[in-house]
Structure 1
Amino acid sequence: MSDFLKKGFLLGLGAAVTGKEKLDKRLNEMVEKNELTQEQARTVMRNFIDKGEMKTDEWNTKQYEQTQKMAKDLGIATREDINELRARISELESQLEEQKQPEQ
């Protein structure tokens, strides 16, 4: 499953790079024909890149959520689960030490 997601991500990344190159070429052509100013072309490219970064963040969030759900469904402890258990153990150890103190 993870390999499938990785291949899908890489495919999307390749498409994005190709899309960026084509957009850059088209924008340069439009600037040469005076259909756009250099500043307008930069703005369009920046918007394209910003949207790509936003989608990447969105994809990472969804992948994390899906991984967490899969771990939960399989009964696998997450890092958060382990940290919570460690905190509880530390608290119990502290309480146990406090109870032993008066006896000594």
Structure 2
Amino acid sequence: MMDKWMKRGFYLGVGAAISGKERFEKMVQDMVDKGEMTPKEAKAMMNEWVEKGQNADTDFTNQTRTMMKDRLKEIGFVTEEDYYKLEARVERLEKLHRENEND
């Protein structure tokens, strides 16, 4: 059930982004057509907005990743880093145990 809602939310977001991009491109083209901005200025503006969008996407991805890690930790999952630290610790303890047995 949750998967279904997540998919719908994703598709809604993609649709809104595409619609917003199309409206923005039309607005910029109208400004060029009216002589309110040059094609070079329009291209620079589009590039700036694309960059801002990419930065926002990166920020969102990082926030989502952090949130997911926190939630997984809350329910008892360990990170891969924590797992390898624990594995190394166990190996050290086993080595110490073997050395003590041989003494």
TM-score interval, normalised by the smaller of the two chains: 0.7 to 0.9
Q: What is the CA-CA distance between 1:60 and the residue it aligns to?
A: 0.8
Distance in 1 of aligned mates of 2:12 and 2:62: 18
Runs of 4+ in 1 over 2 A off after TM superposition: 1-14, 89-97
What amino acid is the match of 1:37? T
Aligned sequence identity (%): 33
Distance in 1 of aligned mates of 2:78 and 2:22: 43
Post-superposition Cα deviations, 1:59-88, rounded to whole Å, max 9, x if no partner, equal 111111111111121112222221211221
Corresponding residue for residue 32 of structure 1: 33
Post-superposition Cα deviations, 1:16-60, rounded to whole Å, max 9, x if no partner, equal 222111111111121122111011101111111111111111111
Question: 1:58 and 1:9, CA in 2 relative to 1: closer, same or farther beyond 3 A?
Answer: farther
Give TM-score scaled by structure 1 length.
0.76
Question: 1:10 and 1:56, CA in 2 relative to 1: closer, same or farther beyond 3 A?
Answer: farther
Residue correspondences, number: 102
**More RCO (CA 8 Å, sep 6+):** 1
Distance in 1 of aligned mates of 2:49 and 2:94: 54
CA RMSD of aligned residues (A): 2.5
Residue segments in structure 1 that go unaligned for 5+ positions in a row: none
Give TM-score scaled by structure 2 length.
0.77
Question: 1:56 and 1:6, CA in 2 relative to 1: closer, same or farther beyond 3 A?
Answer: farther
Distance in 2 of aligned mates of 1:5 and 1:80: 28
Question: 1:95 and 1:85, CA in 2 relative to 1: closer, same or farther beyond 3 A?
Answer: same
Corresponding residue for residue 87 of structure 1: 88
Aligned pairs (5 A) from 1:1-104: 3=3, 4=5, 7-96=8-97, 99=99
